[in-house]
Structure 1
């Protein structure tokens, strides 16, 4: 599948020949602030069209200057010593050049039902595409296209629902994805549509990850929050951002829907000027598009049903959590941050694409009345993110980014257990007495993964063995070089006799043989074991809960044992016979 989208300037400058508003003489500048003073100057600029966010120093900021603003802004940039460059072509030249190339892609390519995301679709084409795509679903995969209301100009706002029709008919948690809240950000609806197609095709083609996701979650995708503005970018002004509502007593049109949500509305990072691109509206939820989204989410259970809320924007490689209106953090910020780190690290490791992550107010700037802050603050959805997509001119970039989103958020992150509820209790541990072949060492617990790999490589490949790790020291109080551990494979359970030849083979490989005793009482919990990410997720989701549990119950549980089975990580810490878990060379000396 091929998806075409152009370099950053072109992303915002593509326009149809029927467009009436022109941008002759509008300069395109790339400004590179190097100090906080530089950033403060950019923040206070008015009547300037910023195409990406003003972030931290040394990050380039692209902006468009009207002819009457060019000399004034350049003078100030020079006076303050802010580095910048001017594109040799004005906005209209770039726009015309792109259109001449873009119009060669005939609309007939969509009409033959072989549309392959090689161009951006108009609103009516998106409606037709969604109807066609919904028909691909079978009796086992239910796809519903539902209008959640009309826009100001009377266009339908469509939500595409994807649900596996399981026999259990259990109530599933929900995932919400929206796009197209800002009219000119064409890439975000394209990603939303491609996500729909990828989920459906993956399910129908037997993709195990996608099938597991849809067995537990219903997916809701609103591809265009702002259809009036989206249409206007095709017909009149490619750079339009807001809705198209009329403002009483003012000739300026529309509001910034992403400043119109009723959570800390109108406090910071928005404008009360109806002519501003960040106009927050006459009141919270003044825009019918805002009300439609809010009412639909709340009608479908709010935070009791939706566990994930993702809003897609462009451009910039950013993965942002609440809050935007405040430098404070939501209650589960540590969880949000760790989840962001897992997702962005996977992106970087797999594809070499770096995403900056953190709360919006710290990564960018403070802003109020956003859908992200509303989703966290009012329905209290657990995992809430703004994902800013970056266009780097790579023709397959959108495909890669979309697959990254699917792989990390759906295929890895959620599937690996990120939304799993952790329950800690006291009771019988998951294993009794076991005989193990093990290796031991001292060093950071983060580095024991290769030891597990070594142990498994010593074992016969035609049999299934469970592995375990015993961790003797607290990482927060013990130097990383002094952290003691044992990593082993279970050779026999209870009073089973070990395979002598296997024992000898493991001893020849440098392993030791030892016995982990049976105890009747331990602190216990478990976590899904579905991907390598499950290990990291289990660490940060389980250990904090265990510490809280032991503190509340006044328990002294140690050492910590992790048992890896086919589909679960079973964790426990004994409350008796604790010294007997210290195998050689860590076994305590006795008289």
Structure 2
């Protein structure tokens, strides 16, 4: 009888522990999507990046390599960022890199010396945004499963033209942002660096009609909501990019980063 009671007690304790852990990592966190000013001001900041194929699982390992490069500097003003094109775009390019909140010449020279590129992120008046807690790799996995479906539904319901998908990993918060204007400026460097044999056809194709590519602030009616015939929110994003590329070694490295309050990925 004592053994049976002990087993029951341990089972209950384990269940409670798992439940509290999932709560801590954000499984039951309320996801609020809104349109307005960006909760994280990225406009005008320096962004040093590499270009990858959005359909390639290698982005996950490259993100890990990037955070490994940043780790020795222990600088919280170096913010990992992933920018992906929306579903339906001819382009499959993604920009993976570091946003500089303050100048860091050592890091900048180091990244540029290994073929990273540099650009200034455009200033955008309004975005579709959501945030999620970042308590480690489990939080990131939960966020990618939960946040994008909500954002996609929000964009569809409000008939918004919002792209590209931007994920910003700042401290204990993940920012999910989709700009409502200047969308093509995020990939302008890549468009201008390539030649195309087709008239008007390039990787920087416009996803929305011109009349919908403006910020709501530019409208005569402040309450007018820009619309488009189809949703352009990217549900693949980071989840799809890293799903097949998370090894045990990678997880161990990331958990070590989490223990030291550095950059966290799954």
Which residue is 1:580 aligned to? Answer: 185
Output aligned runs, 1:476-487, within 5 Å. Answer: 483-487=92-96
Aligned pair partner of 1:463 in 75, 84, 90: 75
Mark the CA change 1:191 to 1:559 in structure 2 (over 3 Å): closer, same or farther. farther
* Match in the other structure for 2:211: none
> Relative to structure 1, is the Cα distance of residues 406 and 499 closer, same or farther in structure 2, using a 3 angstrom cutoff?
same
1:439: how far off? Answer: 1.9
Q: Do the aligned residues in 2 keep the contact of 1:470 with 1:487 (CA within 8 Å)?
A: yes
Using structure 2 for the length normalisation, give the TM-score. 0.63
- Aligned residue number for residue 10 of structure 2: 194
- Unaligned 5+ runs, structure 1: 1-119, 123-185, 199-401
Where do residues 278-297 of structure 1 align in structure 2 (5 Å cutoff)? none
Q: Which residue does 1:555 correspond to in 2?
A: 160
Query: Which residue does 2:2 correspond to in 1?
Result: 121
Which residue in 1 is equivalent to 2:99?
490
Aligned counterpart for 1:439 among listed residues 50, 58, 66: 50
Q: Which has the higher contact order (CA 8 A, sep 6+)?
A: 2
Query: What do you get for the CA RMSD once the two structures are aligned?
Result: 2.9
1:505: which partner in 2?
A: 110
Aligned residues: 192
Q: Which aligned pairs between 1:66-145 and structure 2 lie closer than 5 A?
A: 121=2
- Give the one of 410, 415, 423 matched to 2:32: 423
Change (3 A) 1:422 1:436: same
Residue 192 of structure 1 and its aligned partner are, at CA, apart by: 4.1
Residues 351-370 of structure 1 aligned to structure 2 (within 5 Å): none
Structure 2 unpaired stretches of 5+: 201-266
Alignment partners' CA distance in 1, 2:55 and 2:193: 21
Label 1:529 to 1:589 Cα distance change in 2 as closer, same or farther (>3 A): same
Residue 432 of structure 1: how far off its partner (Å): 2.9
What whole-Å deviation, never above 9, does each CA across 1:487-520 have from its counterpart, x for those lacking one? 111223xxx5x33343211111221112211111
Whole-Å Cα distance in 1 between the matches of residues 135 and 56 of structure 2?
21
Assess if the C-alpha contact under 8 Å between 1:514 and 1:583 holds in 2: no
Q: Partners of 1:588 and 1:548 in 2: how far apart? A: 34
Shift in Å at residue 589 of structure 1?
Answer: 6.8
Measured after TM superposition, the shift of residue 454 of structure 1 is 1.3
Change (3 A) 1:473 1:550: closer
Separation in 2, partners of 1:446, 1:414: 29
Deviation at 1:436, TM superposition (A): 1.6
Query: Larger Rg: 1 or 2?
Result: 1
| TM-score under structure 1 length normalisation | 0.30
Q: Secondary structure at the match of 1:555?
A: coil
Q: Check 1:537–1:435 CA distance in 2 against 1; reply closer, same or farther (3 A cut).
A: same
Deviations 1:21-63 (A, max 9, x none): xxxxxxxxxxxxxxxxxxxxxxxxxxxxxxxxxxxxxxxxxxx
1:115-514 aligned within 5 A: 121=2, 186=4, 190-194=6-10, 402=14, 408-411=18-21, 413-429=22-38, 430-433=40-43, 434-444=45-55, 447-459=58-70, 460-464=72-76, 465-474=78-87, 483-492=92-101, 498-514=103-119
Q: Does 1:526 align with 2:131?
A: yes
